[in-house]
Amino acid sequence: MKPNTGFIEVDVPMNVHGNYDKRKGVKWGEAMRKAQDNGESAFGLAAGFSGLAKTAVPARAGAASRADIQEMELEDDSVEQLLQRFEDANDKGHVLNKQTLGGQIMKDETGKPIYMLGSYRGKELHLTKIAGIVQMRPQFHHLDAVRELSNANRRREREAAEGARANEPRAVQMTIKNDDGDSAQSKEFLFRAQEEKWTKLRYYDEETDEAFATYHDKMFVRDVENAAKLRSSMTNEQYLDAISAEHHDPSGRSKKKPLTKRQMQRIEDSDESDIDEDGHDKDAGAQLEGDR
């Protein structure tokens, strides 16, 4: 996790012994290992400039797509040797045996809906405000590693044929498109993402004792008697008016407001008072007397 920039990634272990393509697992795992040996410690947006500098340069003609990257092969001899001793290769980190899920924490903003988690304890409802939400998506770091190895191999081949060139500085303008569709400069943000170190966290399954202890410690108010009580600032009618859509009459005529429960109760009481004990309408009886 990167608390300042809000990036978070979770490595989920995979079962490499069932419904698993061992050849691709070895190919992608070896690509990840070699890329890390070459100095690539992170990939994607969370890596800042380290992960985006390669994609910032305009792609060359015929650049490899994601489907092409998946078909890129490492040395066949190396892959075959690792497949023959698959268990040992898996133990030594040559196999992609985990799936990485990642995302960026979106914190609450003024004017936006406020979400809460509710926990029941008997008749008590304890509410905990959610400070941020993150949507975890699969990360394709292994494909980035394969592409990086392919680019490194092409550079070595070109340097061997043309001779090594001096590294010339080149200005790169980094931009990122936000959720609102506006393109904004994010140079400072990418630098901060690149410089910030990962903070490792330990994940506990919800059925473990540690998860239960944290649940009871964080999700319930200890001193219920002295805790602030939740009270609504609206009546039922005010709440319904607030969440109801406003009606506009094209003719410009004003519409009467709907009756409240108290007004409807008064009308019902008035109607009942007009009926005598025998169930006859008093007004109708008075009219009959007048006709006589």
Give the helix/strand (H/E) hosting 131. none
Query: What pLDDT, in 10s, does the model give residues 274-292?
Result: 555 555 555 545 444 445 5
The whole-model pTM stands at: 0.58
Domain ranges of the chain: 7-163+185-219
Q: How confident is the model at residue 176 (pLDDT cuts 50, 70, 90)?
A: low
- Do residues 101 and 12 touch, judged by C-beta distance below 8 A? yes
The two beta strands, 106-107 and 175-177, are unpaired
As a whole-number percent, the residues of the chain with pLDDT over 90 amount to 10
Query: What pLDDT, in 10s, does the model give residues 64-106?
Result: 454 444 444 555 667 888 888 899 889 988 899 999 999 989 8
What is the model's pLDDT at position 209? 94
What is the model's pLDDT at position 213? 93
- Do residues 172 and 53 touch, judged by C-beta distance below 8 A? yes
pLDDT at 211 over 90: yes
Q: Provide DSSP, 184-214.
A: EE-HHHHHHHHHSPP-------TTSHHHHHH
